[in-house]
Amino acid sequence: MMDDYYALRSGENTERPVAYVTSGAPVEILEALGITTIYPENYGALCGARRASTPLCEIAESKGYPDDLCSYAKGHLAASMKPEKAPLGGLPPPDFLLCCNNICQTVVKWYQALSDYYGCPLFIVDVPFLNPKEKPEPVYLYLKSQFEELVPEIERIAQTRLNREYLSEVIYLSGQALSLWTEIRSMGRFKPSPVNVPDLFMAMAPIVVMRGKNQAVSFYSEMLDELKRRVTNGTAAVPGERFRLLWDNIAIWPQLLPLYRLFAERDGCFVVDTYTNSWSMNFGSEDDPFEGMAKVYSKAFINLDFQTRLEIIKCLARDYEVTGVVMHANRSCKPFSLCQPLLHRLLNKDLGLPCLILEADMSDTRAFNVNATKERLSAFMEIVEIISES
């Protein structure tokens, strides 16, 4: 399905206007206007999984980009400058860019660099940080007004008018896919779990890049049916599951299966994670589609305060009966990673959960030390086993 997705977005096949969009952007508006959307973050994950990110990052660094910049950003910028060096021959050039800063501030500068490079318009949706001590309604109104201002700009590019009824249909499809994804993730509550977090990481692409499309709904309906059959048949994602683990942060794409196999060999199954939880959203039943989108896109996981994030992780740990937590100290994603030492202490103090912090990067292989990781993983799993048996 993803092969088809990228094939339809190759340079020779894109007849409609092309937009690069961030993963937390209100893509339903673009979908309803017939825009071809492409997600450089998903492409960054693809490059990481194919172990192509590091040479691309080195190209970007040779052009002056710092080595501590996000590897998704560096990899995609390099792929834009040197498509012949990139998987799939890079991505087709965009007609415009839509950036939503609810996931991080790096995307703003990343997309500004892309706008300069391609000479195309950039639209930025500004999402205020949600503070639980303040009422969220002003944030919703602020976002709604931005969505409404965005529409005529995109209409000019698409040379068509937005059909509100069709937008509602697209939002309905997004809501269906998100509900299915939430139920799929919830299957990790069963013992043994029919799903392991690397399964979720490999299956998450449609919820990121195909929200609002029938393909995502069909795919996740089939996946949910398969997981229900696994539960009925007692089929475990990790045969002999003894330890139930929680993963925090983005996947380490170049080491996706080898890393999780090391845990599985010690009977550890990652039954839940914080990253794919970011797409467990609910559009609700608002009559105004812009209001519904404002509520959803303001609540991205890393747009929440520390205490709220801590409570979400605690809730996941209790609901899924977790026996240990592994945190990926992701060199590329500071907003996801900077609070981990404090999360580590509080989860250990409040829930008695052993925690392991693994230093790596989501795409750049230079930040991953295989031998050191194996040693720390071994010591951590011994602690998990001791605590579980006590």
**How do residues 201-232 score in pLDDT, each as one tens digit?**
999 999 999 999 999 999 999 999 999 999 99
Domain count, the chain: 1
Q: Kindly state whether residue 146 falls inside one of the protein's structural domains.
A: yes
Domain that holds residue 120: 2-161
pLDDT of residue 109: 97
Residue 49 pLDDT class (50, 70, 90 cuts): very high
Residue 96 φ then ψ, to 5°: -160, 170
Mean pLDDT, all residues of the chain = 94
Average pLDDT score over residue span 140-151: 96
Q: So what's the pLDDT on residue 59?
A: 98
Q: What is the pLDDT of residue 352?
A: 94
Does residue 88 belong to any structural domain of this protein?
yes
Mean pLDDT of 112-130: 96
In a domain, residue 144? The reply is yes
CATH number for 146: 3.40.50.11890
In a domain, 103, yes or no: yes
Confidence of residue 40 (pLDDT cuts 50, 70, 90): very high
121 inside domain: yes
Tens-place pLDDT, residues 304-321: 899 999 999 999 999 999
In a domain, 138, yes or no: yes
Lowest-confidence pick of 13-27, 226-240, 245-259: 13-27
Please report whether residue 200 resides in a domain. no
Q: What percent of the chain has pLDDT over 90?
A: 86
- Asked, for residue 96, whether it belongs to a domain, the answer is yes
Encode pLDDT of 53-110 as tens digits.
999 999 999 999 999 999 999 999 999 999 999 999 999 999 999 999 998 999 999 9
Confidence of residue 138 (pLDDT cuts 50, 70, 90): very high
**pLDDT tens track for 333-352:** 998 999 999 999 999 999 99
The confidence band for 378, taking pLDDT boundaries of 50, 70 and 90, is very high
The pLDDT value recorded for residue 7 is 86
